[in-house]
Amino acid sequence: MSSPSDETFPHNYLSTSPAHGVPGQHFLYAAPLRSPSPILLDLPIPAPKSRERYAGYVWNASVLLADKIAGGEIAVEGKTVLELGCGLGLPGIVAARTGAKQVLLSDYDDPEALSDTQAAVEEALPPSLSQRCIVVGHSWGTATNPLLEIAPHVDLILIADCVWERALHIKLITSLRALLYANPQATVHFASGFHTGRKAVADFLTQAAAAGVVPSPPNDWIELSVEGECRPWDWSRCGRAELAKLGGKDKNDLSSQTGRAFQTEERQEERNRWTLYGTLRLRIG
């Protein structure tokens, strides 16, 4: 485990560049000031071998989830946590650092990418904590039995910036449903930047809801800006009547001023400023 200098400036500030990290260097994560205890984690950024799938970046959505875990807003102590599409696994690593009983860090079944995740775990955490983390491959849409054999009772599932590729939406939802059926009380903590568009996020959430994985509660979903602004996510911003209805709005209300303003995507610079956060649960009954 490396020992970052206290004089080193943390790299986890949110910025209008949604991805952070320089190949061959380190990414220094510092817990936000609101956290109960200080945390510094040093993650090695891998060489470009696996970066064609963006696994070597640290994304704003990962920082957001990590901050919420470090600050106690996502309670992980004594729980089993699974991060899907983890990349370098920052949120999961922070979960291990803050008392999670067991953490599964899962990404596509590629040995090089998984070795990058393992290297991040071993460098960021001391052995007493890194042994709580298990790095395992899982291709979305395939059987989740190997994951459940390691952790039969997953309490929390973390997803950060995993829905930008629409072709994988159904596969991710298939894995989510299987994991949630294994423990219907589990909660999914979902974060996604809008750098690839609101519609990609909306399409995923629409399909997830149709499959019984629903926003819970929908009114608590928020957008956070890189400047620290926080606003409720108006489900009509994505221009999808189904999601507006899920959010407690009449589907005919999409002609409101807010709805009209977001029928077309914002400019790229504006989208880059915002990250969505909310929770998903399995619909019971």
Q: Which of 182, 168, 110, 112 is nearest to 140 (CA)?
A: 168
Task: Give me the pLDDT at residue 3, please.
Answer: 47
Q: Is 72 left (phi over 0), alpha (psi -120 to 50) or beta?
A: left
The CATH H-level superfamily of 21-282 is Vaccinia Virus protein VP39 (3.40.50.150)
Number of helices followed by number of strands (H, E) in the chain:
10, 13
Buried b (16+ CB within 10 A) or exposed e, 72-109: eebebeebbbbbbbbbbbbbbbbbbbbebebbbbbbee
Cα distance between the two ends of the chain: 47
Domain spans in the chain, listed from the N-terminal domain onward? 21-282
| pTM summary value | 0.87
Task: Give me the pLDDT at residue 54, please.
Answer: 59
Task: Give me the pLDDT at residue 71, please.
Answer: 95
Q: What is the mean pLDDT of each run of 10 residues along the chain (285 residues)?
A: 46 63 83 90 79 68 95 97 96 97 94 92 95 96 96 97 94 98 97 90 94 90 90 73 55 35 66 92 89
